[in-house]
Amino acid sequence: MIPSMLEDVKIESLIRQDSLPQLCSVADRLRQLARRAPETLGPDGLQLLDDLLTAAAETEQSLALQRARIRYLESLSVTDELTGLLNRRGFEAELARALARARRVDETGLLLTCDLNHFKAINDTYGHPAGDAILRAVGQLLKRNTRESDYVARVGGDEFAVIMTQASRSLGEQLAEKLTAMVNELVVPWQGKSLPVSAGFGTTPYNRNSRPDTLLFLADQDLYKHKMPRLVIREAPGEA
């Protein structure tokens, strides 16, 4: 009985990761046989069945752990460690997907870029931990105030970008205006000081004919028109 059930199965192939479903199928067929007629297997057959079921369970658990590890490593490759946002690589991948979708379904959207003002002065005066605190605060603000369908990235040292998908030009510009005001009103407390955040923003809409390099160029050109200086360090309340 057992040979006939396994005659179409190459045992060597069962150790491959992509053959786990076949391994589980064989184990299930043997389990059903043992329930119907346990005497046909005998003690040795029952032991082999037990070994097979144990091996299948262990293999499935091992593969699940491997897949989780791969997903984790893949996320690290596209994630900025400091802010938890997309990094440059992740941003470029999502921008390529957004533009491919725009070509496919005639979708429109908007690209927003953000460049912090006086960031080097903050690092030079208060140290890099203060600069890191500002980067995290800006990243969190952008992430909290964008839609689930948007992609927020830190694309450089003090540069951020937001891909606003499925957005008309008017909606995209409204969202961009809101983010511009919120970031430029942000104040980050640091060791008794209040560090105001200042940033320039640039926007450009995209459609099915847009190209990534042209889109980034236009957004950067718009950004440099709107750079607004603001560097006034205040004592935190009660510290003066």
Q: Which active-site residues does the annotation give?
A: 158
Q: What 3-state class would DSSP assign to 114? A: strand
CB 222: neighbour CB atoms within 10 A? 18
Structure tokens at 119: 């960031």
CB 49 within 8 A of CB 30: yes
What's the rounded Cα separation, in Å, for the pair 201 and 115?
7
Cβ neighbours of residue 59 under 8 Å, at least 6 residues apart? 20, 23
CB 160 within 8 A of CB 114: yes
What's the rounded Cα separation, in Å, for the pair 95 and 106?
15
Which three-class secondary structure string do you get for 12-33? HHHHCHHHHHHHHHHHHHHHHH
What's the rounded Cα separation, in Å, for the pair 12 and 19?
10
What is the amino acid identity at position 233? I
